[in-house]
Amino acid sequence: MPKGSVGTSPIRREGTEKVCGLARYIDDYAIDGCLHGVTLRSSVAKGRIKSIEFDKSVPWEESVIARASDIPGGNYVTLLENDQPLLADGVVRHKYEPILLIAHPSREKAYQALSHVKVEYEAETPNFDIDGGGRVFKDILIEKGDPAAGFKKAWKILEGEYWVPHQEQTYIENNGMVARVESDGTLVAHGSMQCPYYIQKALKAIFALPDERVRVIQATTGGGFGGKEEYPSMLAGHAGLLATKAKRPVKMIYDRSEDMAATTKRHPCRVRFKAGIAKDGRLVAQDIDVVMDGGAYMTLSPVVLSRGALHATGPYECPNVRVRARAVETNTPPNGAFRGFGAPQTLFAAEVHMDRLAALAGLDPVEMRRRNMFREGSITHTGQVMGISLGTAEVLEKTVRMSGWAKKRKAYAAWNKAKKPTWRGLGVALVHHGGGFTGAGEVYLASEAGVAIDREGRVRVLAANTEIGQGTNTIFAQIAADTLGLPLERVDVAVPDTHVVPNSGPTVASRTCMVVGGLVHRAAGRLKDAVLAAGGSFTDAKKLKAAAAALCEGKPERVFIAKYEQPDWVKWDDKAYKGDAYGCFSYGCAIADLEIDRSTYEVRLREVFTAQDIGKAVHPLFAEGQIIGGVVQGLGYALLENVVMKDGGMANASLTNYIIPTSADTPPFKVAIVEKPYKGGPFGAKGVGELPMDSPGPAVCNAVAQAIGKWPAKLPVLPEHVLELVS
């Protein structure tokens, strides 16, 4: 039996290709006869289209033009609600809404053609205000105990209002898609994506085609962070419509400016937080009001809102809680999935408020968290009893020890009193993050994954979950190899292709390793049982080959499928929003060490410390990379990334004036991985992808508070914001 690979860090499957520049992204494909598609977008945030005029001096016969009237099926992008049109048909509800499409053999001429189309609008007054009376996409109410009675018994009560903004995903590779129609009428979409089966579902509705006539294939994908979850369905629909009309392949590749302006972002959010505490600092009541800006169409807003509401209390027990959460419509481009998926917004408010409560109670911020954090038997605001894979205490204490918390806090207090050229601060945030889809969400998805064996005894993992930089291909191979007792190099992983792999659900929600990896583990177990029953052995190549040939029965391979089964300890009432919101949570703590220049008010990070409980690190190096990458992305959200909206659109849609962290902005890190195994995950693994995003924002704000004596209540903490606070 070979030594297992789970818990070790083998070389990334696709690493050599990427490092050497050999990986083929969708724009790298040279396709004979391919046209290049571009999108004409609205220049107003709300209105009616009165007319569209084409400059007669342009040879339009060279181009293919597609409008809403060319759509053979439904003019909508299927998701939670079919409210977003593929192309505007007389009405526009946000700036940059697609109106028509143009394809030309020359990409340059296709873009030039856009400036020769004139759209006249009957403009209407847009709504950019979350309190402006727009449609409510989702309204959630969660109640536990009697908050009114709890506040009456409270020793002290604190109220606060917190704001978090848009955030752009800024993946390495822009959105891109190629579509073609094969000779048998099959529509093929090939591109950069997270969720092939989302795209297949959308294309089936747009083109009125059955499953077998829509094929979606993932190309090498340069990052996603949620920005390639739902939006590629829109882009595939556009490329597919042009390809259908042109009867030629069509490639659509956004440039960075269009990608930033037109695609989905993190939901801006306002949280009003009221909390009451007893004399010992323990929470007695919470009343939390959450409003998220969904933009012009629903997209995934209800699901993002749900996760935000479920994490709104922070990882703390409180006997009396009321959470009211709403996602509302505005006339801005729709917001959608982004790493963390609603939790970073509400956890920001919860953790800054917890620090302020500590000051009110006269307690150290770490001690305040110790007194309130989830422990064995704690009950969440939905009634979930905590006890499975509970890592709150360990991540907090490990991070505190790494940072030298008590000594540094004392030293920084003295430093600030001495009026040095800078202020210094140390801030903490403790967070939790549910793995997988909420409640019955995984049951609804009914995901499947497979493991196949061919006649030579070679094994292949079949799953729709995509490699977008997080290590999926390597981790799936590790799980299958260790389950079977095979060397890692004997296991392949199929390219996600809806004609080849089963629907294992989307690559989102920290579910790929925990949920889908669990399906791979079970499918591999079934394959193992079948091989052994056929007289085979995974340590004897001849016996394995003989058993594999018998199992394949003359076919190229035999596939073993595992279907999702809800753990028996998860009970959830979706109507009442009560019960076990998640099978388990991952836990993280971050401490930010920073200083602020007293002259320029710039914040500089000195060091960041973090411990994260992820159940089991299947690949420790990847896990550490995910943690550092997620924290850096969260630090960008906290200090640099400032989406400027003007007239309903992003005014700084370029990387020259939308600032993201570079290596020069990344502070030294100390990272500890905590392993509290989860019995529902493969080898004990839980989610890791989103958790690191949740803690940096509040940790930074709490460190700023020690430095200058006031808590920022909004992100990002720009120098001008610091100036306002100290003035």
pLDDT band at 3 (very low <50, low <70, confident <90, very high): confident
pTM for this entry: 0.97
- Model confidence pLDDT, tens digit, residues 587-623: 999 999 999 999 999 999 999 999 999 999 999 999 9
Top-tier CATH class for 15-23+441-563: alpha beta
Backbone angles phi, psi at 542, to 5 degrees: -65, -45
User: Using CA atoms, how far apart are residues 176 and 25, in angstroms rounded to an integer?
Assistant: 9
Percent of the residues in the chain that have a pLDDT greater than 90, as a whole number: 99
Q: Is the per-residue pLDDT at 183 higher than 90? A: yes
**CATH level 3 topology of 269-438+576-726:** Aldehyde Oxidoreductase; domain 4 (3.30.365)
- Model confidence pLDDT, tens digit, residues 542-599: 999 999 999 999 999 999 999 999 999 999 999 999 999 999 999 999 999 999 999 9
- Crossing angle of the two packed helices 405-417 and 392-403, in degrees rounded to 10: 50
| DSSP, residue by residue, 561-626 | EEE----TT--EETTTTEE-SSS-EEEEEEEEEEEEETTT--EEEEEEEEEEE-S--SSHHHHHHH
Q: Same fold for the domain at 15-23+441-563 and the one at 269-438+576-726?
A: yes
What per-residue confidence (pLDDT) applies to 545?
A: 97
What per-residue confidence (pLDDT) applies to 234?
A: 98
Angle at 298 between CA 292 and CA 304, to 5 degrees: 50
pLDDT band at 2 (very low <50, low <70, confident <90, very high): low
Question: pLDDT averaged over the chain?
Answer: 97
- Model confidence pLDDT, tens digit, residues 193-214: 999 999 999 999 999 999 999 9
pLDDT band at 1 (very low <50, low <70, confident <90, very high): very low
Q: Is the per-residue pLDDT at 115 higher than 70? A: yes
- Model confidence pLDDT, tens digit, residues 390-433: 999 999 999 999 999 999 999 999 999 999 999 999 999 999 99
Asked whether the beta carbons of 44 and 96 are under 8 A apart, the reply is no
pLDDT band at 179 (very low <50, low <70, confident <90, very high): very high
User: Using CA atoms, how far apart are residues 322 and 324, in angstroms rounded to an integer?
Assistant: 7
Asked whether the beta carbons of 345 and 690 are under 8 A apart, the reply is no
DSSP-based three-state secondary structure for 143: strand
Q: Which residue type sits at 454?
A: D
Collect contacts of 26-31 with beta carbons under 8 A, ≥24 apart. Answer: 26/176, 26/177, 26/178, 26/190, 26/191, 26/192, 26/219, 26/220, 26/251, 26/253, 27/176, 27/251, 27/253, 29/178, 29/190, 29/219, 29/251, 31/178, 31/180, 31/249, 31/251
Percent of the residues in the chain that have a pLDDT greater than 70, as a whole number: 100
Domain-by-domain residue ranges, the chain?
15-23+441-563, 31-126+172-262, 269-438+576-726
DSSP-based three-state secondary structure for 687: coil
> In 3D, which of 530, 547, 537, 558 has the Cα closest to residue 485?
537
User: What's the whole-number mean pLDDT along residues 444-454?
Assistant: 97
In 3-state terms, the chain is what percent helix, strand and coil (to 5)?
Answer: 30, 25, 45
User: Using CA atoms, how far apart are residues 658 and 648, in angstroms rounded to an integer?
Assistant: 17
User: Using CA atoms, how far apart are residues 346 and 325, in angstroms rounded to an integer?
Assistant: 10
CATH homologous superfamily for the domain 31-126+172-262? Aldehyde oxidase/xanthine dehydrogenase, a/b hammerhead (3.90.1170.50)
- Crossing angle of the two packed helices 517-533 and 472-484, in degrees rounded to 10: 30
CB half-sphere exposure, 572, CA atoms < 13 A: 19
- Model confidence pLDDT, tens digit, residues 694-726: 999 999 999 999 999 999 999 999 999 999 999
Structure token pair of residue 520 = 């791979």
Q: How far is CA 676 from CA 446, 548, 583, 586, 672, in A?
A: 27, 37, 14, 9, 13
Q: Is the per-residue pLDDT at 523 higher than 60? A: yes
